Structure 1
Amino acid sequence: MITSLFFLAVMFLGVPIGVCLCLAGIVYIFDTDAMVLLQSFPPQMFGGVDSYGLIAIPLFILIGEIMGSGGITRRLVELAMGFVGAVRGGLAYVNVLANMMLASIIGSATAQVAIMSKIMVPEMEKQGYDKTFAAGVTVYGGMLGPIIPPSVMFVVYSVLAQVAVGDMLMAGILPGILLTLLFFVVIACMGLIYDYPRSEKKTLAERARTIVQASPTLLIPIVIVGSILAGMANPTESAAVGAVVSALVGRYVTREFRYAMLPQILLRSAVYSAIVLFLVAAAAVFSWLLIYGKVPQAAASWIQTVAKDPVSFLLITNVILLVIGTVIDGIPGLIMTVPILLPIATDVYHIDPRHFGVVVVVNLVLGLMSPPVGLSFFVAAAVTGAKPGKMFMVTMPFFLICCAALVLLSLFPGLSLGLLK
Structure 2
Amino acid sequence: MTVVAFLLLVVIGMPIGIVLCASALVFIQTSGNTILLDSYGLQLFSALNNFGLLAIPLFILIGELMNGTGITQRLIRLAGVCIGSLKGGLAYINLLANMMVASILGSATAQIAMMTRVMVPEMEKAGYRRDFSTAVTAFGGLLGPIIPPSIVFVVYAVLAQLAVRDMLIAGLLPGLILTTLFMGTIAILGYWHDYPRGQSVSWKTRLIAVRSALPMLVIPAVIIGTIMGGFGSPTEAAALGALCAAVLGIFFTKTLKFADFGAILLRTGINSALVLFLVAAAGVFSWVLIFGEVPQTVAAWIETVAKTPTSFLLLVLLILILVGTVIDGIAGLIMVVPILLPIATDVYGIDPIHFGVVVSINLILGLLSPPVGIGLYIAANVAKVSPIAVFVVALPFFLVTLFALVLLALVPQISLFLL
TM-score by length of 1: 0.99
Letter in 1 for 2:139: Y
Given that residues 82 and 207 in structure 1 are in contact (C-alpha distance below 8 angstroms), is that contact kept between their aligned partners in structure 2? yes
Identity of aligned residues (%): 56
Q: Counterpart of 1:61?
A: 60
Structure 1 position 73, deviation (Å): 1.3
Tell me whether 1:21 sits opposite 2:20 in the alignment: yes
Q: Counterpart of 2:354?
A: 355
Q: How does 1:161-310 map onto structure 2 within 5 Å?
A: 161-310=160-309
Given that residues 328 and 373 in structure 2 are in contact (C-alpha distance below 8 angstroms), is that contact kept between their aligned partners in structure 1? no
Q: Counterpart of 1:82?
A: 81
Q: Following the alignment from structure 2 to structure 1, what is the Cα–Cα distance between the partners of residues 36 and 98? A: 46
Q: Following the alignment from structure 1 to structure 2, what is the Cα–Cα distance between the partners of residues 286 and 22? A: 7
Q: How does 1:379-418 map onto structure 2 within 5 Å?
A: 379-418=378-417
Letter in 1 for 2:239: A
SS at match of 2:28: helix
Q: Following the alignment from structure 1 to structure 2, what is the Cα–Cα distance between the partners of residues 317 and 170? A: 23
Q: Counterpart of 1:126?
A: 125
Q: Counterpart of 1:73?
A: 72
Q: Following the alignment from structure 1 to structure 2, what is the Cα–Cα distance between the partners of residues 221 and 246? A: 10
Structure 1 position 82, deviation (Å): 1.6
Q: How does 1:146-161 map onto structure 2 within 5 Å?
A: 146-161=145-160
Structure 1 position 123, deviation (Å): 0.4
Worse overlay, 8-17 or 400-409? 8-17
SS at match of 1:368: helix
Worse overlay, 145-154 or 76-85? 76-85
Structure 1 position 371, deviation (Å): 1.6
Q: Counterpart of 2:10?
A: 11
Q: Following the alignment from structure 2 to structure 1, what is the Cα–Cα distance between the partners of residues 412 and 289? A: 28
Give the gaps of 5 or more residues in structure 2: none
Letter in 1 for 2:365: L
Q: Following the alignment from structure 2 to structure 1, what is the Cα–Cα distance between the partners of residues 207 and 127? A: 25
Letter in 1 for 2:168: L
Structure 1 position 172, deviation (Å): 0.3
Q: Counterpart of 2:143?
A: 144
Structure 1 position 208, deviation (Å): 2.1
Q: Following the alignment from structure 1 to structure 2, what is the Cα–Cα distance between the partners of residues 213 and 112? A: 21
Q: Following the alignment from structure 1 to structure 2, what is the Cα–Cα distance between the partners of residues 267 and 78? A: 30
Structure 1 position 251, deviation (Å): 1.4
Q: Counterpart of 2:103?
A: 104
Q: Counterpart of 1:328?
A: 327
1:292-340 deviations in whole A, cap 9, x for unaligned?
A: 0000000100000011111100000000011000000111101100000
Q: How does 1:304-319 map onto structure 2 within 5 Å?
A: 304-319=303-318
Q: Following the alignment from structure 1 to structure 2, what is the Cα–Cα distance between the partners of residues 208 and 396? A: 37
Worse overlay, 320-329 or 200-209? 200-209
Given that residues 143 and 366 in structure 1 are in contact (C-alpha distance below 8 angstroms), is that contact kept between their aligned partners in structure 2? yes
Worse overlay, 136-145 or 243-252? 243-252
Given that residues 7 and 21 in structure 1 are in contact (C-alpha distance below 8 angstroms), is that contact kept between their aligned partners in structure 2? yes
Q: Following the alignment from structure 1 to structure 2, what is the Cα–Cα distance between the partners of residues 373 and 26? A: 26
Worse overlay, 199-208 or 109-118? 199-208
Q: Following the alignment from structure 1 to structure 2, what is the Cα–Cα distance between the partners of residues 414 and 254? A: 41
SS at match of 2:313: helix
Q: Counterpart of 1:51?
A: 50
Given that residues 106 and 112 in structure 1 are in contact (C-alpha distance below 8 angstroms), is that contact kept between their aligned partners in structure 2? yes
Structure 1 position 200, deviation (Å): 1.7
Structure 1 position 386, deviation (Å): 1.2
1:142-171 deviations in whole A, cap 9, x for unaligned?
A: 000000111111111001000000000000
Worse overlay, 253-262 or 54-63? 253-262
Given that residues 326 and 371 in structure 2 are in contact (C-alpha distance below 8 angstroms), is that contact kept between their aligned partners in structure 1? yes
Given that residues 71 and 257 in structure 1 are in contact (C-alpha distance below 8 angstroms), is that contact kept between their aligned partners in structure 2? no
Given that residues 354 and 412 in structure 2 are in contact (C-alpha distance below 8 angstroms), is that contact kept between their aligned partners in structure 1? yes
State the aligned residue count. 419
Letter in 1 for 2:339: I
Q: Following the alignment from structure 2 to structure 1, what is the Cα–Cα distance between the partners of residues 40 and 258? A: 41
Letter in 1 for 2:45: F
Runs of 4+ in 1 over 6 A off after TM superposition: none
Structure 1 position 253, deviation (Å): 1.8
Given that residues 224 and 242 in structure 1 are in contact (C-alpha distance below 8 angstroms), is that contact kept between their aligned partners in structure 2? yes
Tell me whether 1:94 sits opposite 2:114 in the alignment: no
SS at match of 1:419: coil
Given that residues 324 and 367 in structure 2 are in contact (C-alpha distance below 8 angstroms), is that contact kept between their aligned partners in structure 1? yes
SS at match of 1:104: helix
Structure 1 position 375, deviation (Å): 1.5
SS at match of 1:227: helix
Q: Following the alignment from structure 1 to structure 2, what is the Cα–Cα distance between the partners of residues 162 and 363? A: 20
Structure 1 position 263, deviation (Å): 0.4
Given that residues 108 and 144 in structure 2 are in contact (C-alpha distance below 8 angstroms), is that contact kept between their aligned partners in structure 1? yes
Given that residues 83 and 211 in structure 1 are in contact (C-alpha distance below 8 angstroms), is that contact kept between their aligned partners in structure 2? no
Q: Following the alignment from structure 1 to structure 2, what is the Cα–Cα distance between the partners of residues 386 and 236? A: 38
Structure 1 position 214, deviation (Å): 1.3
Given that residues 72 and 217 in structure 1 are in contact (C-alpha distance below 8 angstroms), is that contact kept between their aligned partners in structure 2? yes
Given that residues 82 and 210 in structure 1 are in contact (C-alpha distance below 8 angstroms), is that contact kept between their aligned partners in structure 2? yes
Structure 1 position 204, deviation (Å): 2.1
Q: Following the alignment from structure 1 to structure 2, what is the Cα–Cα distance between the partners of residues 111 and 321? A: 23
1:244-278 deviations in whole A, cap 9, x for unaligned?
A: 00001111222211111000000000001011111
SS at match of 1:180: helix
Tell me whether 1:343 sits opposite 2:342 in the alignment: yes
Letter in 2 for 1:120: M
Q: Following the alignment from structure 1 to structure 2, what is the Cα–Cα distance between the partners of residues 366 and 347? A: 26
SS at match of 2:80: helix
RMSD: 0.7
Letter in 1 for 2:308: D
Q: Following the alignment from structure 1 to structure 2, what is the Cα–Cα distance between the partners of residues 374 and 10? A: 19
Worse overlay, 194-203 or 179-188? 194-203
Give the gaps of 5 or more residues in structure 1: none
